[in-house]
Structure 1
Amino acid sequence: MIKDYKSVEVFIGVDVGKSNHHAVALDKTGKKLLDKALPQDEAKLREIIDSLAGHGTLLLVVDQPATIGALPVAVAQAAGVMVGYLPGLAMRRIADLHPGEAKTDARDAAIIAEAARTMPHTLRSIDIADEQAAELSMLCGFDDDLTQQSTATSNRIRGLLTQVHPSLERVIGAHLDHPAMAELLAKYPTPDTLKKAGTKRVEALLKKYAPRAGARWAAEIFTALGEQTVVVSGTAGAAVVLPQLAAMLANLRTGRVEVLARVEALVEAHPLHVVLSSIPAVGIRTEARIITEVIGKEFVSAGHLASYAGLAPVTWRSGTSIRGDHPSRKGNKALKRALFLSAFAALKHPVSRAYYDRKRAEGKRHNQALIALARRRCDMIFAMLRDGTLYDEKVTKAA
């Protein structure tokens, strides 16, 4: 819900685009004051706002507040105009209530403006984003990209090793998350090059990056090499591909370390770091997600936040054949994933483990019990952020 909504006299709906937007402005009676396309240009956006300022207090509503919609939001905020956001799902449902099936920028902008005028409950407020939160959001998104690419590259390496030498893959693949194995494959990518290098050279290389495990891993690698005498077709190609994949994997992991260092600095400088870091199993990446996905948004209750995060159960009922509560498939997936993984890490914490075990004893499966734990921790985070209090284990046990 938008603060000071009752004072709004002009509702501007903007259907944002990569290079061009479309804006429709309505007054309180629904009279159209503006209907035109405009480029992704600050001067043109300011011109539109200035031309409507004489009609009274303005509210600009977009269908996408980030990426391609960031400039209109920033220009409006700089001009002192209230800004709102109409979620995509809500917009599509509202669009179904309007006549016609056409999908045009002008129609979408008109629907956004009309929703802003007549259905304020569908809107979400957009607070002025500080530079810290904006940078965190960008870095978190990039970190997710690096993680996906790193996983894909690791899987590709394992696939190639399985193709040319399954026994070797079982050894190297089990420790591929360690930097030593990427360095090994970059220098000795095939069974033949490993054999020619010899045990001492391979052991020396592995010890450089894994001093305690290097000798053991080298022995396991040469034991695996002795289990296969034939050369599988495609091994020559793997000799070209594997070093490049290993170098890519090393670079991706270096990138993640650099990004994490910057994220850590931003999170530790945030005023809520003391509150969030007091929660068991909430690390830097989870804190960053909470700051970027929760802070600055309005949630009237813990249930509202849980629904936004996709942790609130959905009831399905139809006659006598379909009954029960099921996990939601909607919500903010990045936040849901962060809270789910944090709940999994929290199983080492006695209070969280006791709650998880209780849910398992009630007949819930592993994932169901974890989601229940994530929901409980989500409720706790809501209360702590609302009151500005630190984690108190006594209060958690009593809850």
Structure 2
Amino acid sequence: MTGSPVWAGVDVGKEHHWVCVVDASGAVLLSRRFDNDEAAITTVIAEVDAFGEQVSWTVDLTTVYATLLLTVLAGAGETVRYLSGRSVWQASTVYRGGEAKTDAKDARVIADQSRMRSDLPVLHPDDDLIRELQMLTGHRTDLVADRTRTINRLRQQLIAICPGLERVAQISSDRGWAVLLARYQRPKAIRRTGVTRLTATLAAAGVRNAETIAQAAVTAAKAQTVRLPGEDIAAELVAELARGVIDLDARVHAADAEIEARFRRHPLAEAIVSLPGMGFRLGAEFLSAVGDPALIGSADQLAAWAGLAPRPKDSGKRTGRLHTPQRYSRRLRRVMYMSALTAARCDPVSRAYHQRKRAEGKRPIQATICLARRRVNVLYALIRDNRTWQPNAPVTAVAA
């Protein structure tokens, strides 16, 4: 069988993958599981290469789960193509093997689709920058989630000391409150310190609206003269949690600096952030979600990937009904939605379009989704041509 072309499809997993190899007639030559381990991957590559000199590899994921696999394949000089998970799911309905989804069935579908299709994009193993952005944006997301949990716990403990102080403290949006609560927690201590000394302390720590925070804190403290049970322990916990919030703020800021520095090195960075509402953070999230922008075949494909291309849901005499597809990148959808939400506030053209959709009777979320779908066309054109957005440029120059 040496010299005959074969196609290897890999269903990527976290701990292990499943490979299926088919020949030119679609017959299965190999189907087995292998660990996500360098030695196991190398062994599988040797087994597959034994079936023919012309081997075409295809994977269904390009996330961190596939990093080791793609790296070893690239090191072995193998060409790897990409078939999206959505395409695998759609194609699997016409293959035998029961209705149940299995790794073996998905790997066979990937291999067979690769055999029949010539339009699958080739993956390039030079995306260290994308991998770094994926790790950094994921790390930042974790930090923000930790910060939210810490603030919620801080508020819970602050209620045990002074409910009035908890009501006025804007901990989530104003760093100054965390600075204050790291030093002063009890109403008595805040009253005794007074507005003037609190203001000076906060100002020395770099808090901008120090006097406003000090005034609100003292006012809330004066409204409560009784001491609540367990105040001492609650105060210690509040101080510890407040210091935790300050530390997490610094770590999020450091992560933002690293994300921006790496994002700006991408050749498409300026084109992406030129779109109103798309800052460096959302731009980095966009690149992290799509990976290689060369994988985007059209504006319609990008819209479907982001869940912004409704699918028909006709039934009987009811036609024209649409619904959100079940399979799409929620991360990519969030990027497009949040950027549209920002653009509707800061960009006159986007705001006018959003208002027009609202006048047509659409709810705010629906109008924002319509705007996000429209912006997909623009963003795709900017990426395709590697040019920056111009307010008066036509939006219609988009390849299907």
TM-score class, shorter: 0.7 to 0.9
1:391 aligns with 2:396: no
Where 1:132 maps in the other structure, the secondary structure is helix
Read off the aligned partner of 2:265 and give its amino acid letter.
A
Which residue of structure 2 aligns with residue 334 of structure 1?
331
Alpha-carbon contact 1:199-1:218 (below 8 Å) kept? yes
Distance 1:49-1:321 versus aligned 2 partners, 3 A rule: closer
1:147 aligns with 2:147: no
Where 2:264 maps in the other structure, the secondary structure is helix
Distance 1:230 1:360 in 2: 51
Listed one character per residue, the Cα deviations across residues 177-196 of structure 1 (whole Å, up to 9, x for unaligned) are 22221122222233344345
The root-mean-square deviation of aligned C-alpha atoms, in Å, is: 3.1
**The 10-residue stretch of structure 1 (95-104 or 237-246) with the greater mean CA deviation from structure 2:** 95-104
Alpha-carbon contact 1:317-1:323 (below 8 Å) kept? yes
Where 1:394 maps in the other structure, the secondary structure is coil
Report deviation, 1:226: 1.8
Q: How does 1:1-399 map to 2 (within 5 A)?
A: 9-54=5-50, 55-88=52-85, 90-91=87-88, 97-100=95-98, 106=104, 109-117=107-115, 125-172=122-169, 174-209=170-205, 212-294=208-290, 295-319=292-316, 324-328=321-325, 330-346=327-343, 347-396=345-394
Where 2:30 maps in the other structure, the secondary structure is strand
Distance 1:232-1:113 versus aligned 2 partners, 3 A rule: farther
Read off the aligned partner of 2:199 and give its amino acid letter.
E
Give the unaligned 5+ runs of structure 1: 1-6
Distance 1:208 1:95 in 2: 64
Give the unaligned 5+ runs of structure 2: none
Q: Aligned pair count?
A: 391
Distance 2:318 2:162 in 1: 52
Which residue of structure 2 aligns with residue 3 of structure 1?
none
Where 1:307 maps in the other structure, the secondary structure is helix
Alpha-carbon contact 1:26-1:113 (below 8 Å) kept? yes
Listed one character per residue, the Cα deviations across residues 118-176 of structure 1 (whole Å, up to 9, x for unaligned) are 5777x66533342112211211111122122222222332333345433212221x254
Where 2:350 maps in the other structure, the secondary structure is helix
Alpha-carbon contact 2:56-2:80 (below 8 Å) kept? yes
TM-score for both structures, normalised by structure 2: 0.85
Answer 1 or 2: which has greater helix percent.
Answer: 1
**The 10-residue stretch of structure 1 (345-354 or 329-338) with the greater mean CA deviation from structure 2:** 329-338
Listed one character per residue, the Cα deviations across residues 318-342 of structure 1 (whole Å, up to 9, x for unaligned) are 3456864445564221222122221
Where 1:160 maps in the other structure, the secondary structure is helix
Report deviation, 1:107: 5.5
Where 1:259 maps in the other structure, the secondary structure is helix
Distance 1:139-1:81 versus aligned 2 partners, 3 A rule: same
Distance 1:157-1:117 versus aligned 2 partners, 3 A rule: same
Where 2:392 maps in the other structure, the secondary structure is helix
Alpha-carbon contact 1:190-1:238 (below 8 Å) kept? no
